[in-house]
Amino acid sequence: MPVYHAPTVLGNFGISWSSDRLLATFLPGDARMIAETPRADAPPWVLRLGDHVARHLAGNLQDFSVLALPFAELSPFRRRVLQALQAIPAGQTSTYGEVAAFLGSPGASRAVGQAVARNPYPLVVPCHRVLAAGGRVGGFSAPGGISTKLVLLAIEKAC
Protein backbone atom coordinates (compact mmCIF):
# COMPACT_ATOMS: atom_id res chain seq x y z
CA MET A 1 0.00 0.00 0.00
CA PRO A 2 1.62 3.28 -1.03
CA VAL A 3 1.93 5.97 1.63
CA TYR A 4 2.87 9.54 0.76
CA HIS A 5 4.48 11.38 3.67
CA ALA A 6 3.23 14.97 3.43
CA PRO A 7 5.50 17.31 5.41
CA THR A 8 3.65 19.47 7.96
CA VAL A 9 4.59 21.63 10.94
CA LEU A 10 3.79 18.66 13.20
CA GLY A 11 5.78 16.11 11.19
CA ASN A 12 4.91 13.88 8.27
CA PHE A 13 1.22 13.21 7.66
CA GLY A 14 0.58 9.92 5.84
CA ILE A 15 -1.81 9.49 2.95
CA SER A 16 -2.46 5.98 1.64
CA TRP A 17 -4.35 5.41 -1.58
CA SER A 18 -5.22 2.94 -4.26
CA SER A 19 -5.60 3.85 -7.92
CA ASP A 20 -8.31 6.45 -7.45
CA ARG A 21 -9.38 6.58 -3.81
CA LEU A 22 -8.16 7.35 -0.35
CA LEU A 23 -7.52 4.28 1.80
CA ALA A 24 -6.33 5.86 5.05
CA THR A 25 -4.63 8.85 6.59
CA PHE A 26 -2.07 8.79 9.38
CA LEU A 27 -1.29 11.55 11.85
CA PRO A 28 2.39 12.40 12.39
CA GLY A 29 4.09 9.78 14.52
CA ASP A 30 1.81 6.90 13.51
CA ALA A 31 3.93 3.74 13.43
CA ARG A 32 1.74 2.25 10.69
CA MET A 33 3.22 4.80 8.28
CA ILE A 34 6.29 2.66 7.54
CA ALA A 35 6.68 2.71 3.76
CA GLU A 36 7.25 6.05 2.12
CA THR A 37 6.25 6.72 -1.47
CA PRO A 38 8.35 9.37 -3.22
CA ARG A 39 6.52 12.58 -4.08
CA ALA A 40 7.03 11.92 -7.80
CA ASP A 41 5.10 8.66 -7.53
CA ALA A 42 2.05 10.09 -5.76
CA PRO A 43 -0.90 11.11 -7.95
CA PRO A 44 -1.74 14.84 -8.13
CA TRP A 45 -4.87 14.49 -5.95
CA VAL A 46 -2.79 12.93 -3.15
CA LEU A 47 -0.26 15.78 -3.39
CA ARG A 48 -3.11 18.33 -3.25
CA LEU A 49 -4.54 16.64 -0.17
CA GLY A 50 -1.08 16.71 1.43
CA ASP A 51 -0.79 20.43 0.69
CA HIS A 52 -4.24 21.08 2.19
CA VAL A 53 -3.32 19.12 5.32
CA ALA A 54 -0.06 21.07 5.67
CA ARG A 55 -1.94 24.38 5.36
CA HIS A 56 -4.55 23.24 7.88
CA LEU A 57 -1.97 22.21 10.45
CA ALA A 58 -0.18 25.55 9.94
CA GLY A 59 -3.40 27.33 10.96
CA ASN A 60 -4.88 28.05 7.52
CA LEU A 61 -7.94 25.90 8.14
CA GLN A 62 -9.24 23.77 5.28
CA ASP A 63 -12.64 22.20 4.70
CA PHE A 64 -12.12 18.47 4.20
CA SER A 65 -15.86 17.69 4.25
CA VAL A 66 -15.96 18.10 0.46
CA LEU A 67 -13.79 15.00 -0.07
CA ALA A 68 -15.54 11.97 -1.49
CA LEU A 69 -14.46 9.15 0.80
CA PRO A 70 -15.08 5.42 0.27
CA PHE A 71 -17.54 5.08 3.13
CA ALA A 72 -19.53 2.42 1.24
CA GLU A 73 -17.12 -0.23 2.52
CA LEU A 74 -18.01 0.58 6.13
CA SER A 75 -21.00 -0.64 8.12
CA PRO A 76 -24.01 1.67 7.81
CA PHE A 77 -23.60 2.87 11.41
CA ARG A 78 -19.87 3.66 11.04
CA ARG A 79 -20.60 5.45 7.76
CA ARG A 80 -23.26 7.60 9.42
CA VAL A 81 -20.94 8.41 12.35
CA LEU A 82 -18.07 9.47 10.07
CA GLN A 83 -20.42 11.54 7.92
CA ALA A 84 -21.68 13.25 11.09
CA LEU A 85 -18.07 14.02 12.07
CA GLN A 86 -17.48 15.61 8.67
CA ALA A 87 -20.31 18.04 9.46
CA ILE A 88 -18.53 19.41 12.57
CA PRO A 89 -16.76 22.55 11.34
CA ALA A 90 -13.23 23.52 12.35
CA GLY A 91 -13.32 25.53 15.54
CA GLN A 92 -16.32 23.64 16.90
CA THR A 93 -16.70 20.45 18.88
CA SER A 94 -19.44 17.97 19.67
CA THR A 95 -19.77 15.21 22.25
CA TYR A 96 -20.24 11.49 21.65
CA GLY A 97 -23.75 11.85 23.05
CA GLU A 98 -24.57 14.76 20.75
CA VAL A 99 -23.38 12.78 17.73
CA ALA A 100 -25.49 9.80 18.84
CA ALA A 101 -28.55 12.04 19.29
CA PHE A 102 -27.94 13.65 15.88
CA LEU A 103 -27.98 10.15 14.37
CA GLY A 104 -31.31 9.42 16.07
CA SER A 105 -29.74 6.98 18.54
CA PRO A 106 -29.43 8.97 21.79
CA GLY A 107 -28.33 5.93 23.80
CA ALA A 108 -25.51 4.99 21.43
CA SER A 109 -22.71 7.25 22.65
CA ARG A 110 -20.42 4.27 23.38
CA ALA A 111 -21.03 2.85 19.91
CA VAL A 112 -20.27 6.29 18.48
CA GLY A 113 -17.05 6.33 20.50
CA GLN A 114 -16.04 2.96 19.09
CA ALA A 115 -16.73 4.11 15.53
CA VAL A 116 -14.78 7.33 16.14
CA ALA A 117 -11.81 5.38 17.54
CA ARG A 118 -11.71 3.30 14.35
CA ASN A 119 -11.76 6.30 12.00
CA PRO A 120 -9.51 5.41 9.05
CA TYR A 121 -9.12 9.08 8.04
CA PRO A 122 -7.93 11.08 11.07
CA LEU A 123 -7.91 14.86 10.57
CA VAL A 124 -9.67 14.52 7.20
CA VAL A 125 -12.64 13.12 9.14
CA PRO A 126 -12.25 15.19 12.31
CA CYS A 127 -12.55 12.66 15.12
CA HIS A 128 -10.49 15.03 17.29
CA ARG A 129 -13.51 17.37 17.43
CA VAL A 130 -15.55 14.86 19.45
CA LEU A 131 -15.39 15.28 23.22
CA ALA A 132 -16.64 13.30 26.20
CA ALA A 133 -19.74 14.29 28.16
CA GLY A 134 -19.60 17.73 29.72
CA GLY A 135 -17.02 18.91 27.18
CA ARG A 136 -14.17 16.91 28.75
CA VAL A 137 -11.41 16.05 26.30
CA GLY A 138 -11.88 12.30 26.71
CA GLY A 139 -9.57 9.86 24.95
CA PHE A 140 -7.81 9.89 21.62
CA SER A 141 -6.44 6.74 20.03
CA ALA A 142 -4.02 8.50 17.67
CA PRO A 143 -0.28 8.78 18.37
CA GLY A 144 0.33 11.18 21.24
CA GLY A 145 -3.14 10.54 22.64
CA ILE A 146 -4.89 13.43 24.35
CA SER A 147 -1.95 15.81 23.86
CA THR A 148 -2.26 15.38 20.07
CA LYS A 149 -6.01 15.97 20.30
CA LEU A 150 -5.42 19.18 22.26
CA VAL A 151 -2.85 20.39 19.71
CA LEU A 152 -5.31 19.79 16.85
CA LEU A 153 -8.10 21.58 18.71
CA ALA A 154 -5.77 24.50 19.52
CA ILE A 155 -4.78 24.84 15.84
CA GLU A 156 -8.49 25.08 15.05
CA LYS A 157 -9.09 27.43 17.99
CA ALA A 158 -11.67 25.01 19.39
CA CYS A 159 -10.33 25.00 22.95
CA distance linking residue 9 with residue 28, whole number of Å:
10
Question: Is 86 in a helix, a strand, or coil?
Answer: helix
Cα–Cα distance list, 101 to 18, 68, 88, 121, 127 (Å):
34, 25, 14, 23, 17
The closest of 25, 28, 30, 23 to 12, measured between CA atoms, is 28
CA distance linking residue 91 with residue 62, whole number of Å:
11
Catalytic residue among 82, 90, 99, 127: 127
159 catalytically annotated: no
Positions annotated as catalytic residues are 127
